[in-house]
Amino acid sequence: MSSLGQNAAAYAERAWAILLCGVVLALIARAVPVPWLAVLLLSAGATLAALATFIRVADLWGRRLPAGRLRRLCAAAPGSCILTDTRGEVLLANPQALRRVPASRGQPVAAAFAAVFADPERAVENLISAAARGESATHVRPGAEGALRLRVERAAHGVFVWHLDGGEPPAPDSALPMLRIDADDKVLSLNPAARELLGHVPASLDALRRGLPPAAHPDGEEIAIETAQGLLRRRLMTLPGRDGLRELYILPAGAMAGVAHPPEGLLDALPVAILQLDTDGTVRLANMRARELLGSTGVSTGSGPLNLCERLEGLGRPVSDWLAEAAEGRASNMAEVLRVARDDRELFVQVALARMSGGGLVAVLHDVTEMKTLEAQFTQSQKMQAIGQLAGGVAHDFNNLLTAISGHCDLLMLRHDPGDPDYGDLVQIHQNANRAASLVGQLLAFSRKQTLSPEVLDLRDTMGELAHLLDRLVGERVRLRIRHGEGLPRIRADKRKLEQVVMNLVVNARDAMPRGGEIRLETEAVELRSELRRDRAVVPAGTYAVVRVIDKGDGIPPDRLTKIFEPFFTTKRPGEGTGLGLSTVYGIVKQTGGFIFVDSEVGKGSTFTLYLPGYRGTEDEAAAPSPEAEDETRDIGVVLLVEDEAPVRSFASRALAMRGHTVLEAESGEEALEILADPTLEVDVFVTDVVMPGLDGPGWVSEALKGRPGTKVVFVSGYAEDSFGEIRARIPNSVYLPKPFSLADLTATVQRQLRAPAIRPGPTPPPGEDAMRGA
Query: Per residue in 699-712, pLDDT tens?
Result: 999 999 998 888 99
Q: What is the mean pLDDT of residues 107-131?
A: 82
> Distance between CA atoms of 247 and 185, rounded to whole angstroms?
11
How far is 39 from 28, CA to CA, in rounded Å?
11
Average pLDDT over residues 500-512: 89
Query: What share of the chain in percent tops pLDDT 90?
Result: 14
Contacts of 226 (CB under 8 A, 6+ apart): 198, 208, 210
CATH of domain 454-622: 3.30.565.10
> Please, which pLDDT band fits residue 4 given cuts at 50, 70 and 90?
very low
Asked whether the CA dihedral 652, 653, 657, 658 is positive or negative, the reply is negative
Kindly state the average pLDDT of the residues 237-252: 67
273 in Cβ contact with 352 (< 8 Å): no
DSSP state of 204: B
Residue 683 pLDDT exceeds 80: yes
Which 8-state DSSP code applies to residue 214?
A: G
d(CA 178, CA 235): 12
pLDDT: which is higher, 99 or 764: 99
Please give the residue that has the higher pLDDT: either 576 or 77: 77
Quickly count: other Cβ atoms within 10 Å of residue 725's Cβ.
10
Task: List % helix, strand, coil for the chain (3-state, nearest 5).
Answer: 40, 25, 35
Q: What's the rounded Cα separation, in Å, for the pair 1 and 218?
A: 59
pLDDT digits (tens, 9 = 90+) for 260-274: 445 555 667 667 788
Domain 638-755: assigned CATH number:
3.40.50.2300
State the pLDDT confidence band at 37, using cuts at 50, 70 and 90: low
DSSP 457: E
Indicate the pLDDT class of residue 65, thresholds 50, 70 and 90. very low
Question: What is the predicted pLDDT for the residue at 76?
Answer: 56
Q: What is the DSSP string of 120-175?
A: HHHHHHHHHHHHHTT---EEEE--TT--EEEEEEE-GGG-EEEEEES-PPPPTTT-
In sequence order, the 6+-apart residues with CB closer than 8 A to the CB of 369 are: 346, 347, 348
584: left (phi over 0), alpha (psi -120 to 50) or beta: alpha
Q: How far is CA 423 from CA 413, 419, 652, 758, in A?
A: 7, 7, 22, 41
SS (H, E, C) 164-189: EECCCCCCCCCCCCEEEECCCCEEEE
Rg (CA), the chain: 37
**Cα-based distances in Å from 259 to 102, 254, 255, 263, 364:** 42, 10, 9, 8, 21
SS3 425: helix
The CA distance from 474 to 507, in Å, is 7
| Residue boundaries of the structural domains of the chain | 1-140, 178-371, 372-433, 454-622, 638-755
| 346 Cβ contact list (under 8 Å, min separation 6) | 339, 369
**Rounded distance, CA 277 to CA 284, Å?**
6
pLDDT mean over 364-369: 86
CA distance 633 to 737: 22
Q: Are 291 and 340 in contact (CB under 8 A)?
A: no
Specify which of 106-110, 326-330, 540-544 reaches the highest per-range mean pLDDT: 540-544
Q: Which residues pair with 248 in a beta bridge?
A: 179, 238
Q: Which of 59-68, 134-143, 584-593, 658-667 has the lowest mean pLDDT?
A: 59-68
User: Is the bond preceding 177 in cis, omega lying within 30 degrees of 0?
Assistant: no
User: At a CB cut-off of 8 Å and minimum separation 6, what does 336 contact?
Assistant: 315, 322, 350, 351
User: Where does the pLDDT of residue 639 fall: very low under 50, low under 70, confident under 90, or very high at 90 and above?
Assistant: very high
Predicted pLDDT of residue 13: 53
**325-329, 417-421, 434-438, 592-596: which is most confident:** 592-596
CB 369 within 8 A of CB 348: yes
Count of beta carbons in the 10 Å neighbourhood of residue 105: 11
Query: Across the chain, what does the average pLDDT equal?
Result: 75
Higher-confidence position of 553 and 434: 553
pLDDT score for 675: 92
- Determine the angle formed by the axes of helices 3-13 and 35-76, rounding to 10 degrees: 120
Q: What is the DSSP-derived secondary structure letter of residue 721?
A: G
- Point out the least confidently predicted range of 122-126, 171-175, 190-194, 591-595: 171-175
Q: Which among 175, 178, 123 is positioned nearest to 149, based on CA atoms?
A: 123
Q: What value does the mean pLDDT take over residues 160-186?
A: 66
Of 408 and 29, the one with more pLDDT: 408
Kindly state the DSSP code that residue 315 receives in the 8-state scheme. S
Give me the pLDDT at residue 595, please.
93
The residue with greater pLDDT, 67 or 772, is 67
What are the residue ranges of helices labelled H in 578-720? 581-591, 619-622, 646-658, 669-676, 697-705
pLDDT at residue 647, as a whole number:
87
- DSSP element (H, E) containing 366: strand 361-367
163 vs 97: CA distance, rounded Å: 9
Task: Give pLDDT, residue 260.
Answer: 44
Q: Which amino acid is present at 240? A: P
Q: Which SS3 state, helix, strand or coil, does residue 575 take?
A: coil
CA distance 117 to 100: 12
Reduced to 3 states (helix: H, G, I; strand: E, B; else coil), residue 578 is coil
CATH number for the segment(s) 178-371: 3.30.450.20
Over residues 639-658, the mean pLDDT reads 90
pLDDT at 775 over 50: no
Among 579, 437, 606, which Cα is nearest to 510's? 606
Pairing verdict, β 491-494 and 517-528: unpaired
Nearest to 401 by CA among 224, 582, 633, 645: 645
pLDDT exceeds 80 at position 501 = yes
Domains 178-371 and 454-622 share a fold: no
Q: Terminus-to-terminus CA distance in the chain, angstroms?
A: 49
Please name the helix (run of DSSP H) or strand (run of DSSP E) that holds residue 437, with its range, or none. helix 423-446
Please state which of the ranges 39-43, 200-204, 245-249, 742-746 shows the lowest mean pLDDT: 39-43
598-616: average pLDDT: 91
What local confidence, expressed as pLDDT, does residue 221 receive?
59
CA distance 6 to 14: 12
φ, ψ (nearest 5 deg) of residue 520:
-105, 125
Residue 216 confidence (pLDDT): 38
State the maximum Cα–Cα separation within the chain, in Å, rounded to a whole number: 112
CATH T-level topology, domain 372-433: Helix Hairpins (1.10.287)
Whether residue 354 has pLDDT greater than 50: yes
Q: pLDDT: is 601 or 378 the higher one?
A: 601
Confidence of residue 339 (pLDDT cuts 50, 70, 90): confident
Provide the pLDDT for residue 599: 92
Instruction: Tell me the C-alpha distance between 131 and 259, whole Å.
Output: 50
In terms of Cα–Cα distance, which of 703, 641, 647, 628 is closest to 668? 641
The answer to whether residue 16 scores a pLDDT higher than 70 is no
- pLDDT value for 665: 93
Q: Annotate 230-246 with b (16+ C-beta within 10 A) or e (fewer).
A: eebebbbbbbbbeeeeb
Task: Identify the residue with better confidence: 304 or 34.
Answer: 304
